[in-house]
Amino acid sequence: MSENILEVTNLCKHFGGVKAVDGISFKIPANSIQTIIGPNGAGKSTTLNLLSGVYLPTSGSIKYNGVEINTLSLHQRVHLGIARTFQKIRLFKQLSVIDNVIAGFHIHHKIPFWQYFIPAGEYKKNRLECQAQALELLDFIGLKDKANERAGSLSYGSQRMLEIARALATKPKVFMLDEPAAGLNDTEVQFLMSRLKLLQQQNMTIILVEHNMKLVMNIADQIFVMDHGEYLFDGSPAEVQSNPKVIAAYLGSEGATV
């Protein structure tokens, strides 16, 4: 594995008295699949929110390819190649499936956002350019035959996959997913796993927050375990599964699904 694409040092996010993230540090090698696990409220989503720029940290440092990005907005980070999906699905449910993916491309195309809803000049031109690429992504994610359906009419699992396609349209180098397997059936989880492995083969770095341990243990190069906003343990799937602290705080509880 090559050098670290992300380096986090003493990262903290406090909301008043709540120490959602409290002094965590980790390094993520480029082209690896890193997962973050831990009980509910451990600070996993907040960590993704800090890495992606949804929140600015209370203190600490985030370096991307050796450059500090702490103060950059979510939008600026997407331009640098950092993309993510959210724990709660955030699609444009009234738009078609393919238009949701095309909206993901707009970051690189300077289209006024209202033109997605009221098609006009730039959008119409851009749509043609992006259509083929969007269909490729939909094919990759198993939704090509649903391209013209309304996003809101898709099953829950398909909506989650569509979120992934839309985030991939921004052409990320680091791709973060917050509980992508939540609500998916076993077949869908298997498919998700195969897609994430393919993305890794295409030189993407993946950061996965997940409670589905079958997925985590099958896919992770490294697992970072959090509890109460703090570091608890990190290691390979085998090391994490046999660590008494991790078992006591998380794996032995009902929070982790196997």
Ligand X SMILES: Nc1ncnc2c1ncn2[C@@H]1O[C@H](COP(=O)(O)OP(=O)(O)OP(=O)(O)O)[C@@H](O)[C@H]1O
Which residues of the chain form contacts with ligand X (CB under 6 A)?
Answer: 15, 18, 20, 38, 40-46, 87
Decide: 227 and 39 in contact? Cβ < 8 Å.
Answer: yes
Nearer to ligand X among residue 99 and residue 210 (C-beta) = 210
Instruction: Tell which positions 147-186 bind Mg ion, by CB under 5 A.
Output: none
Smallest distance, ligand X to C-beta of residue 85, A:
13
189-193: long-range contacts, CB 8 A cutoff, minimum separation 24 = 189/214, 189/215, 191/142, 192/161, 192/164, 193/218, 193/219
- Residues 229/19, Cβ–Cβ less than 8 Å: yes
| 81-100 binders of Mg ion (CB under 5 A) | 87
Chain position whose Cβ is nearest to Mg ion: 45
Q: How far is the CB of 15 from ligand X (least distance, A)?
A: 3
Closer to ligand X by Cβ: residue 41 or 235: 41
Q: Residue 131 Cβ, how far from ligand X at the closest point, in Å?
A: 35
- 225 close to 35: Cβ distance less than 8 angstroms: no
Q: In what order do the strands lie in the sheet with 59-64?
A: 18-29, 4-15, 59-64, 67-68
* 82 in Cβ contact with 52 (< 8 Å): yes
**Residue 107: in which H helix or E strand, if any?**
none
What's the min distance (Å) between Cβ of 81 and Mg ion?
23
249: enclosing H helix or E strand: none
From ligand X, Mg ion, none, interface partner of 15 (C-beta below 5 to 8 A by class): ligand X
β-bridge mates for residue 62, sequence order: 8
We find the least distance from the C-beta atom of residue 225 to ligand X, in angstroms, to be: 11
**Minimum CB distance to ligand X smaller for 237 or for 255:** 255
Please say which residue, 60 or 104, places its beta carbon nearer to ligand X. Answer: 60
Does residue 45 belong to the site contacting Mg ion (CB under 5 A)? yes
- In terms of CB distance, is 103 or 209 closer to Mg ion? 209
Interacting residue ranges for Mg ion, rule: CB under 5 A: 45, 87
